[in-house]
Amino acid sequence: MLTQNPRVVFAKRPGTRIPVPGEHIIFESSRSIDLDSVPLNGGFLTKTLMLSPEPFMRERMRDLHVPSYSTHAVLGEPLVSFGLVVVLRSEKEGINPGDHLYGLTTWEAYTVQPYVEGRARHNAEEAPDYTFDVDSLALQVVPDPKGTFPWSRYFTVLGAPGLTAFCGFEGCTDAKPGETIYVSSGASAVGIVVIQLAKAKGLKVIASAGTDNKVEYMRSLGADVAFNYRTTPVADVLKKHGPLDLYWDNVGGEVVELAIEYSRLHARLIMCGSISEYSVAPEQRHGIKNTSMIFKKRLRIEGFLVPDLAPRLAPRFFAEMPGLVAEGKITAKEHITEGLENGPDALVAVLKEGGNGAAGKPVIRVATE
Amino acid sequence: MLTQNPRVVFAKRPGTRIPVPGEHIIFESSRSIDLDSVPLNGGFLTKTLMLSPEPFMRERMRDLHVPSYSTHAVLGEPLVSFGLVVVLRSEKEGINPGDHLYGLTTWEAYTVQPYVEGRARHNAEEAPDYTFDVDSLALQVVPDPKGTFPWSRYFTVLGAPGLTAFCGFEGCTDAKPGETIYVSSGASAVGIVVIQLAKAKGLKVIASAGTDNKVEYMRSLGADVAFNYRTTPVADVLKKHGPLDLYWDNVGGEVVELAIEYSRLHARLIMCGSISEYSVAPEQRHGIKNTSMIFKKRLRIEGFLVPDLAPRLAPRFFAEMPGLVAEGKITAKEHITEGLENGPDALVAVLKEGGNGAAGKPVIRVATE
């Protein structure tokens, strides 16, 4: 029996613009799938429960000649992002119907895994050595929380954002109690975990976001100084509440320049993302003019990507974090958008304004079980 | 009996211009000193043999409201730089007539030490925490080379530049054999030591300077790729001979942007100086637009200043370097300008074009013994 299998296709590279739904990313429902008989070829069939619109998806849509840390998204194929799926059928040992898995998957209702459509060709010989094969972040079975927390938490503190925050904070900051950290995009899925890890370590936390909702949310997580960067200049806040020992960068551009300006001796700047720059032409980006302060203040600016640090730190993350979440010591919030057809708009909202204005990591619910 | 005591006075802050001799820095010979009877107040009287025109002197001339890593130069007083002096009289225990000392001293023929004129007031409570009290780099007795090398070598490999190169290279680079390093200002007193340390460690060395003389000199020191940045675009060379594992920055600005562009995964950028920016208004400086590559390539950009690393590394430097120099394993060259009256021009030449075009660290000979 055929079942409709709607999906979101990457139809056109957006160049330096924010992708436009219907033009660059298109929801379409012409396909169908026979859930009972589709060949599995030794793999397994999954039903998509939730998907995560994320900035790195935009970076993958860049023009082919632009090098970056991620492989490119594949034109004409479904988008790929972190997702939560449930197994319907399996020919693969260790994967059983009813299992829940979290990891990279395609933006469609049903998928034979490992997915083939949407998977980027990666030739390590040809690609720059810093280009990471995103599709290698395969689906992994995750425990059923049995009601102790919602499944969506795998998209924040217990998933990639939580691991990112943990790896960067534990691996790069050298944070010491009493130090001051500024977290940009503090209400993002990564930001909220950084704020909480920093507070747990005894740091003073300054955090910014783009709506008052989010500011309130960051404050509820313990941020000592939370502010709306759209209404309060970053420089004013850093001048008043700095200088900084640490800056956690999720946005890039001008804020990095300000963080350098308001850093103190031996401050560390941790570069985790550049949301402000993914849809801006290189020549239009903000040029940082105070780089000489790097030696004058003896700063350390360090970029990281989870795969570099995970071998060392992921075991600790998986050992410690679920317990902290179950005890309520680290919390998170997700904002659910219903329906894959609303996926393109949800992604654009993340790229434009860090979500929909509401506090909570945007998650698209594709189906219930 | 009175002896003339000419000096070079810091007369006017140059703002964002290169200082002009006769306007901002003035040679004058109206003073005299009685070498036999000038009161020493427990200190000692020195005769200046050589002085070192250096970029940090320009940074000290900045406007008072501009923060930086160094204390300000004092208006109306003699310039201060590294110098080699010989002791004429002493009331200080451990300092004897005939001793040679190297360290910070004033641009004048004779000085009662520790010098008072030219010494900047430093209030650690009021100054930014990254501002270093330059005058604390006091004169130290140095061994008589007894002809094994010229005294001027204390201005290159055996003095502050050598220690700077050693501390940064050993303390910050994590250099590994087979890696590729690019050294800007490769013919500078610091650059030539970095080149030689890197070659000794088995690195491939790319180095740039602004005259063909200097290019030849860098090649003679072992640089695998040496080029004149005024005639060959840096980008072309890095594209052909990169990517970089390491970049040693002595210049700041646009070259940093290029080094980021041609870095490979996990490259390290060591920020040692910004000669291109000391006489440029902040808003006129080159803005670096590719900072998002810091996380994409997982780069580490680290600034350092010798006083931070010297406690750990200076003992090794003083134990190892003189032997390497005596054996000819590390070499250096100085370019001597005769006469304190030519000091202002020599300093300007360093700020304008990295010296006089000749290879060899510029040194001003004030007097013979």
Instruction: Write out chain A's pLDDT in tens, 369 residues.
Output: 899 999 999 999 999 899 999 999 999 999 999 999 999 999 999 999 999 999 999 999 999 999 999 999 999 999 999 999 999 999 999 999 999 999 999 999 999 999 999 999 998 888 999 999 999 988 999 999 988 889 999 999 999 999 999 999 999 999 999 999 999 999 999 999 999 999 999 999 999 999 999 999 999 999 999 999 999 999 999 999 999 999 999 999 999 999 999 999 999 999 998 888 877 888 888 999 999 999 999 999 999 999 999 999 999 999 999 889 988 899 999 999 999 999 999 999 999 876 667 788 999 999 998
> Residue B352: pLDDT above 90?
no
Distance (Å) from the alpha carbon of A350 to chain B's nearest alpha carbon: 18
Per CB-CB distance under 8 Å, the chain B contacts of A311 are none
Domain membership flag for residue A327? no
Q: What are phi and psi of A204, to 5 degrees?
A: -85, 130
Nearest CB partner across the interface for B308, out of A253, A256, A298: A298
User: Is the CB of residue B353 less than 8 Å away from at least one CB of chain A?
Assistant: no
Confidence of residue B283 (pLDDT cuts 50, 70, 90): confident
Q: Nearest CA to B185 among B152, B158, B218, B154?
A: B218
The pairing of strands A204-209 and A180-183 is parallel
Residues of A in contact with B291 (CB under 8 A): 252-253, 256, 271, 274, 288
Please indicate, yes or no, if residue A133 is contained in any of the structural domains: yes
Interface test with A, best of B296, B297, B299, B308 (most A CBs within 10 A): B296
CA distance A92 to chain B (A): 34
Of all helices (H) and strands (E), which one includes residue B340?
none
pLDDT confidence of residue A283: 85
Supply φ then ψ for residue B158, to 5 degrees: -100, 5
A-chain residues within 8 Å CB-CB of B266?
Answer: 130, 308
What is the predicted pLDDT for the residue at A124? Answer: 85
Is residue B35's pLDDT more than 70? yes
**Pair of tokens at residue B154:** 């204390």
* Structure-block tokens of residue A5: 């299998």
Minimal C-alpha gap between B59 and chain A (Å): 10
Tell me the average pLDDT across B183-211: 96
For residue B303, the surrounding DSSP H or E stretch is: strand B300-303
How far apart CA B312 and CA B327 sit, in angstroms, is 25
Same domain membership, residue B37 and residue B93: yes
Give the up-direction half-sphere exposure of residue B37: CA atoms within 13 A in the CB hemisphere: 4
B99-120 mean pLDDT = 96
Q: Is B199 found in the same domain as B114?
A: no
Which residue of chain A has the CA closest to B172? A300
Among residues B306, B324, B354, which one ends one of the domains? B306
Closest partner residue to A265 (CB to CB) among B129, B272, B286 is B129
> What is the distance between the alpha carbons of residues A48 and A104, in angstroms, rounded to a whole number?
11
Asked if residue A119 and residue A12 are part of one domain, the reply reads yes
Res A1: pLDDT: 84
- Does A168 reach chain B within 8 Å, measured CB to CB? no
> Is A291 close to B252, i.e. CB distance below 8 A?
yes
A174 touches chain B (CB under 8 A): no
Tell me, yes or no, whether B180 and B215 share the same domain. Answer: yes
Question: CA A74, A79, A82: angle at the middle one, nearest 5?
Answer: 125
Pair (B211, B343) in one structural domain: no
A216, A187 contact by CB (below 8 A): no
Q: Are residues B137 and B212 part of one domain?
A: no
Query: Hey, what are A105's tokens?
Result: 């998957």
Question: Does A287 lie in the same domain as A194?
Answer: yes
Q: Give yes or no: residues A225 and A125 share one domain.
A: no
Q: What is the mean pLDDT of chain B?
A: 94
Interface of B with A in 292-311 (CB under 8 A): 292-305, 308
Q: Could you count the other beta carbons within 10 Å of the beta carbon of residue A119?
A: 18
Instruction: Report if residue A317 sits inside a domain.
Output: no
Q: Is residue B323 part of a domain?
A: no
Question: For tokens 């860098």, what's the residue?
Answer: B218
Q: What's the confidence (pLDDT) of residue B59?
A: 93
Share of chain B above pLDDT 90, in %: 86
Contacts of B38 (CB under 8 A, 6+ apart): B45, B112
**CB of B364 closer than 8 Å to CB of B337:** yes
Nearest alpha carbon to residue A42 among A97, A148, A122, A114? A114
Q: What pLDDT sits at residue B355?
A: 65
Residue A37's domain is classified under what CATH number? 3.90.180.10
Residue A313, domain member (yes or no): no
Residue A347 pLDDT: 95
**Nearest chain A Cα to B273, which residue?**
A295
Can you tell me the mean pLDDT for B156-177?
96
Q: Domain end: B264, B290, B306, which one?
A: B306
CB contact under 8 A, B289 and A287: yes
Contact B296 A264 (CB under 8 A): no
Contact B246, B175 (CB under 8 A): yes
Cβ distance of B302 and A299 shorter than 8 Å: yes
One domain for residues A286 and A340: no
Q: Tokens standing for B149?
A: 């090398």
Which pLDDT score, from 0 to 100, does residue A277 have? 80
Distance from CA of B68 to the nearest CA of A (A): 6
- Of residues A282, A301, A305, nearest to B289 (C-beta): A282
d(CA A96, CA A100): 9
DSSP string, A110-135: EEEES--TTPPP--TTTS-TT-B-GG
Distance CA A259, CA A92 (A): 49
Q: Which residues of A touch B243 (CB under 8 A)?
A: 129
Partner-chain contact A289 B271, CB within 8 Å: no
Is the residue at A320 inside a domain? Answer: no
Which chain B residues touch A273 with a CB distance below 8 Å? 295
Contact by Cβ (8 Å): B246, B203: yes
Q: Is the pLDDT of residue B103 over 70?
A: yes
Asked if A174 and A268 count as a contact pair (C-beta separation under 8 A), the reply is yes
Facing A271 at nearest CB: one of B256, B273, B295: B295
CB of A65 within 8 Å of a chain B CB? The answer is no
Q: What angle do CA B88, B92, B96 make, to 5 degrees?
A: 40
pLDDT of B358 higher than 80: no
Cα gap B67→B69, rounded to integer Å = 7
Angle at A318 between CA A313 and CA A324, to 5 degrees: 110
Q: Are residues A73 and A103 in the same domain?
A: yes
Nearest to A48 by CA among A35, A57, A38: A35
- d(CA B146, nearest CA chain A) in Å: 37
Say how far apart CA A62 and CA A284 lie, in whole Å.
16
The residue range of the domain holding A192 is 160-306
Overall domain count for chain A: 2
Q: Tell me, yes or no, whether A197 and A280 share the same domain.
A: yes
A51 and A364 in contact (C-beta within 8 Å)? yes
ipTM of predicted assembly, 2 dp? 0.93
Tell me whether residue A250 is in a domain.
yes
* pLDDT tens-digit series, residues A14-30: 998 999 999 999 999 99
Residue ending a domain, among B306, B324, B353, is: B306
CA distance A277 to chain B (A): 8
Is A326 part of a structural domain of the chain?
no
Nearest to A165 by CA among A136, A216, A129, A199: A199
Instruction: Give the nearest partner residue to A295 out of B264, B272, B282, using CB atoms.
Output: B272
- CB atoms A256 and B69 under 8 Å: no
Output the domain CATH number for residue A283: 3.40.50.720
For an interface test with B, give the residue of A72, A292, A306, A309 to mutate (most B CBs within 10 A).
A292
Task: Measure the CA–CA gap between A211 and A187, rounded to whole angstroms.
Answer: 9
Examine the domain organization and report whether B281 and B255 are in the same domain: yes
Residues 115-144 (B) with a CB less than 8 A from some CB of A:
128-130
